């Protein structure tokens, strides 16, 4: 070992011992939910996102800002929270044309919208208004689809936990619906009241019982929430992981010819000057 390497190693060791950690470079560095507000209706599960955020903070490496931001479609701050959460238990007011266009841009350029129905029905007023909203934001034209069933082999079901269906406080919707654009799930709609499963009161007690699966179902609801956030932040990362070994193998860079790597010839020293008379 050379003296330089020894000194370098010592400095590095000192650096490790005295690493000066930081906690995010600013609010924008943290993950923060955006609570989408449409009309005067208030969020049915006001504590849900904070509780989910807390779980995400504890279970994953994601740095979470626990306080959700309330945003309207036409707000200037819409694009500061790329993950939007829209929950409801009754009919919602559709945004204006400008709001629809703003939502379309938000989702097209990388935003994600999670719609959570708390009305306990798969064909209620909230469900109807959600379908109208999605039809307005993503009109079905030709081959482009609106809301469609998201199959259970979609990467959103394995982005962190391995799941097969979207459990919530209820289990009335067997599948998640969503809108896919350019191969990306831009909006997900789950009618099982995820927020109801996540929500706790100020004393830490869960506010609603999960039926019919009880606490196991609640756990699965949290896992679904984690997966949705993880998908929004990583996209199809988990699907790619399956292919990594093959990609690595295809891109063979290391020679395997059994040859030796000889020592390079050092450059010849300059010839001494010859003294000429």
Partner 1 sequence: MNIVLFPSLVRYALAATCLVLMVATVLAVRRGKGGLGAALGVLSLLSGGALAAEALVALTVRLAAPGATEFNEYRWVMLAPWGRLGLALGGGAVIAIVALSWRASRGAPAWRRATMIGLRAGAAVGALVVFLEPAVELRQVAREPNRIAVLIDDSKSMALSESTTGPTRIERARQLLTASGGALAAWEANHKVDYYTFSETISPTSLAALASNQAQGKATLFRKALELVRARYEGRDLAGVVMISDGVSTGGFTEDSGDGAMRDFLRSLETRVHTVWAARKGLKDIAVAKVMADEFAFVRTVVRIDAVIRTTGLPARQVPVTLSTDGQPLRQKMVDFPGGDHDVTVTFEVTPPRVGRYVYEVSVPIAPNEAVTSNNTRSFVIRVIRDKIRVLQVAGQPGWDVRSLRQMLKSNSNVDLISFFILRTQDDISLVPNDEMSLIPFPTRELFEHQLPSFDLIILQDFEYLPYGIGDYLENIRSYVEGGGGLVMLGGAASFTSGGYYGTPVAAALPVELYGPFDSGPVVDTQKFSPQLTEAGQMHPVTSLRYSADDNVAAWKTLPQLEGVNLVASVKPEGTVLAQHPRLRTKAGKPMPVIIAAEYGKGRSLAVTTDTLWKWGFGAAARPGDNGRQYTKFWENAMSWLIQDPVLRNLHVDSDAVEYGPNAPVRVTVRLLGRDYQPLAGGVVSLTVRRGADPSSAEEVSAAKLAVGEDGTVVHELGGLAPGVYRIEGHAAIAGRQVDANDIFLVREGGSELDRPVGDAATLESIAKASGGQALGAVDTLPSDLAFDPPRIVRVDRRTDVELWSRPGLLLLIIGLLGLEWLLRQRSGYL
- Least distance to partner 1 from the beta carbon of 41, Å? 25
Residues forming a β-bridge with 36? 71
Q: How many CA atoms lie within 13 A of 10 on its CB side?
A: 7
- Least distance to partner 1 from the beta carbon of 24, Å? 5
Residue with tokens 């904070």: 50
> Whose Cβ is closer to partner 1: residue 258's or residue 273's?
258
Q: What is the per-residue binding string for partner 1 in 167-206, x denoting contact by CB under 8 A?
A: -----------------x----------------------
Residues forming a β-bridge with 144? 141
User: Of 8, 46, 139, 214, which lies in the binding site for partner 1, with binding defined by CB under 8 A?
Assistant: 8
Stretch that binds partner 1, among 38-46, 122-130, 134-142, 244-252 (CB under 8 A): 244-252
Residues 113-142 that bind partner 1 (CB under 8 A): none
Residues 245-264 that bind partner 1 (CB under 8 A): 247-248, 251-264
Q: Does 87 bind partner 1 (CB under 8 A)?
A: no
Q: Does 276 bind partner 1 (CB under 8 A)?
A: no
- Least distance to partner 1 from the beta carbon of 113, Å? 14
- Least distance to partner 1 from the beta carbon of 202, Å? 22
Q: How many residues does the chain have?
A: 277
* Alpha carbon distance 202, 47 (integer Å): 9
User: Of 51, 95, 223, 228, which lies in the binding site for partner 1, with binding defined by CB under 8 A?
Assistant: 223
User: Of 2, 26, 212, 271, which lies in the binding site for partner 1, with binding defined by CB under 8 A?
Assistant: 26
Residue with tokens 């689809």: 145
Tokens of 208: 């609603």
User: Of 85, 126, 138, 160, which lies in the binding site for partner 1, with binding defined by CB under 8 A?
Assistant: 160
- Least distance to partner 1 from the beta carbon of 44, Å? 27
For residue 181, give the nearest of 114, 110, 97 by alpha carbon.
110
| Alpha-carbon torsion angle 170, 173, 174, 180, nearest 10 | -130
The string over 29-66, giving b where at least 16 C-beta atoms fall within 10 Å of a residue's C-beta and e elsewhere, is ebbbbbbbbbeeeebbbeebbbbbbebbbeeeebebbb
User: Of 20, 204, 272, 273, which lies in the binding site for partner 1, with binding defined by CB under 8 A?
Assistant: 20
> Whose Cβ is closer to partner 1: residue 50's or residue 105's?
105
Q: Does 21 bind partner 1 (CB under 8 A)?
A: yes
* Alpha carbon distance 61, 107 (integer Å): 25
- Least distance to partner 1 from the beta carbon of 67, Å? 16
Give CA separation, 191 vs 45, 84, 150, 229, 236, in Å: 14, 16, 13, 17, 24
Number of residues that bind partner 1 (CB under 8 A): 75
> Whose Cβ is closer to partner 1: residue 126's or residue 198's?
198
* Alpha carbon distance 262, 199 (integer Å): 67
């Amino acid at each position: 070992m050379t003296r330089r390497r020894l000194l370098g190693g010592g400095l590095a060791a000192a650096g490790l011992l005295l690493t000066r950690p930081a906690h995010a470079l600013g609010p924008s560095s943290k993950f923060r939910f955006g609570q989408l507000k449409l009309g005067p209706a208030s969020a049915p599960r006001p504590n849900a996102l904070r509780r989910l955020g807390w779980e995400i903070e504890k279970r994953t490496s994601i740095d979470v800002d626990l306080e959700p931001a309330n945003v309207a479609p036409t707000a200037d701050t819409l694009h500061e929270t790329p993950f939007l959460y829209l929950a409801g238990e009754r009919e919602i007011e559709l945004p204006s044309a400008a709001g629809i266009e703003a939502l379309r841009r938000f989702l097209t350029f990388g935003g994600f919208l999670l719609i959570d129905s708390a009305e306990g029905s798969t064909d209620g007023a909230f469900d109807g208004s959600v379908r109208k909203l999605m039809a307005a934001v993503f009109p079905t034209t030709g081959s482009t689809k609106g809301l469609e069933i998201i199959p259970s082999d979609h990467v959103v079901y394995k982005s962190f936990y391995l799941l097969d269906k979207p459990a919530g406080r209820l289990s009335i919707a067997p599948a998640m619906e969503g809108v896919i654009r350019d191969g990306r799930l831009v909006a997900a709609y789950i009618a099982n009241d995820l927020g109801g499963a996540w929500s706790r009161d100020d004393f830490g007690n869960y506010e609603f019982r999960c039926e019919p699966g009880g606490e196991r179902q609640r756990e699965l609801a949290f896992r679904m929430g984690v997966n949705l956030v993880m998908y929004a932040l990583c996209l199809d990362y988990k699907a790619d992981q399956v292919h990594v070994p093959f990609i690595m193998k295809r891109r063979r860079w290391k020679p395997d010819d059994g040859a030796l790597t000889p020592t390079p010839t050092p450059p010849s020293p300059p010839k001494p000057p010859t003294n000429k008379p």
